[in-house]
Amino acid sequence: MTATLFTPLQLGRVTLQHRIVLAPLTRMRAAGSVPGPLNVEYYAQRTTPGGLLIAEATPVSPQGHGHPNVPGIHTAAQVAGWKTVTDAVHAKGGVIYLQLWHTGRVSHSSHQPDGAAPVGPSAIRAEGGTINAAFQPVPYEVPRALEIQEIASIVDTFRQAAANAIAAGFDGVEIHGANGYLLEQFLYSRTNTRTDAYGGSIENRSRLHLEVTDAVIREIGAERTGIRLSPWGIANDSSEADPVSLFTHLIGELAKRTLVYLHLIEPRASGTGKADIFRADQPSAAGIFRAMWPTVLLDAGGFTAETAPEALSSGRADAVAFGRFFISNPDLVDRIRQGAAFTPYHRPTFYGGGAEGYTDYSVWGG
């Protein structure tokens, strides 16, 4: 039987009642770096019985931060704050994963402990800019190349963050291996010019993804561990000349680990966090790599109520993640079920601020 958006789906230890997923979305609404009542309200609004929410990208360490007012998962206060979020989601019958994040070279010294330079695989500055701790636009800085002996501690911060996420009540975690952040910086040859065991060959450049994945699996189990990748991605000054060979190797190695899911960002929508980018005539990441993946495959990238069902009926994906329209439609699942129109999103309120553009969107018929 062909799956629809409302066909149940087994995801590790839980059964989802539909296949409409909240994609991880940076919103910069934490109280400093600790989730608070506003975050509880936001996630609870978007919870449905048996629905999967992937909480926003969350730094695994102080060094992993790269934006103001994003929640972390490396202190007791952050764990306690997230517990209030997961309790609210579970009270409404939802399932929630946490995305584990290290921004790497696209951080800024104002976010770093003691004002240090951000770190990356190599001392190569990204083109463009970001915002500093005071919400001011600033150019990217030249990162400090990580010493090889530091990498094991980076891996361990992901392991500890996964343990902290489970302690905070999350049902699982998603490793952020996409969008030009630290793990993908190691993966791509244009951002990684190392000559040691983490640079050069495809195998070496994939090493950090796999070491982080293995560490998280050892801590919480493969049945609670997912990963997000962005083949053909261009976010945060990323790209790779031959993504098929690179991701064929990486996804093949990840498939051996039987993770609970693989979350792919379609290239047509890479970079949409900063602008409404839609790259036409791009290949389908899910279409190319579906045959390699043995468990659940989530697909993300500019989907609508009209286009999402085809991703399932074609067999490319098992579930579809929505981002921008889930921001402006807290009742997105019900709207799709009823065939109701979507409320447009308002990009100027995506990042930072309070309730406006965060928890004040109305529900259908409301």
- Supply the pLDDT for residue 45: 98
Q: Give the pair of three-digit tokens for residue 40.
A: 């509880």
Q: Is residue 365 part of a domain?
A: no
Using CA atoms, how far residue 12 sits from 46, 97, 103, 244, 343, in Å, is 21, 12, 28, 28, 33
Q: Is residue 362 part of a domain?
A: no
Report the alpha-carbon distance of residue 170 to residue 100 in Å, rounded.
Answer: 12
Per-residue pLDDT of the chain (366 residues; tens, 9 = 90+): 678 999 999 999 999 999 999 999 999 999 999 999 999 999 999 999 999 999 999 999 999 999 999 999 999 999 999 999 999 999 999 999 999 999 999 999 999 999 999 999 999 999 999 999 999 999 999 999 999 999 999 999 999 999 999 999 999 999 999 999 999 999 999 999 999 999 999 999 999 999 999 999 999 999 999 999 999 888 898 888 889 999 999 999 999 999 999 999 998 655 544 555 554 567 789 999 999 999 999 999 989 999 999 999 999 999 999 999 999 999 999 999 999 999 999 999 999 999 999 999 999 875
In the chain, the number of structural domains is 1
CATH of the domain at 132: 3.20.20.70
pLDDT for 218-240, tens place per residue? 999 999 999 999 998 888 988 88
Report the alpha-carbon distance of residue 338 to residue 19 in Å, rounded.
Answer: 15
Positions annotated as catalytic residues are 181
Q: Is residue 300 part of a domain?
A: yes
Q: Is residue 3 part of a domain?
A: no
* pTM for the full predicted model: 0.96
What HEC string does the chain produce?
A: CCCCCCCCEEECCEEECCCEEECCCCCCCCECCECCHHHHHHHHHCCCCCCEEEEEEEECCHHHCCCCCCCCCCCHHHHHHHHHHHHHHHHCCCEEEEEEECCHHHCCHHHCHHHCCCEECCCCCCCCEEECCCCCEEECCCCEECCHHHHHHHHHHHHHHHHHHHHCCCCEEEEECCCCCHHHHHHCCCCCCCCCCCCCCHHHHCHHHHHHHHHHHHHHCHHHEEEEECCCCCCCCCCCCCHHHHHHHHHHHHHCCCCCEEEEECHHHCCCCCCCCCCCCCCCHHHHHHHHCCCEEEEECCCCCCCHHHHHHCCCCCEEEECHHHHHCCCHHHHHHHCCCCCCCCHHHCCCCCCCCCCCCCCCCC
Q: Is residue 2 part of a domain?
A: no
Q: Is residue 358 part of a domain?
A: no
Q: Which amino acid is at 22?
A: L
Cβ proximity of 191 and 240 under 8 Å: no
- First-to-last alpha carbon distance for the chain, in angstroms, is 36
pLDDT for 272-282, tens place per residue? 445 555 545 67
Q: Give the pair of three-digit tokens for residue 341.
A: 């129109």
Containing domain of residue 221, as a range? 9-349
Q: Is residue 123 part of a domain?
A: yes
Using CA atoms, how far residue 292 sits from 255, 284, 299, in Å, is 7, 14, 15
Q: Is residue 4 part of a domain?
A: no
Q: Which amino acid is at 269?
A: A
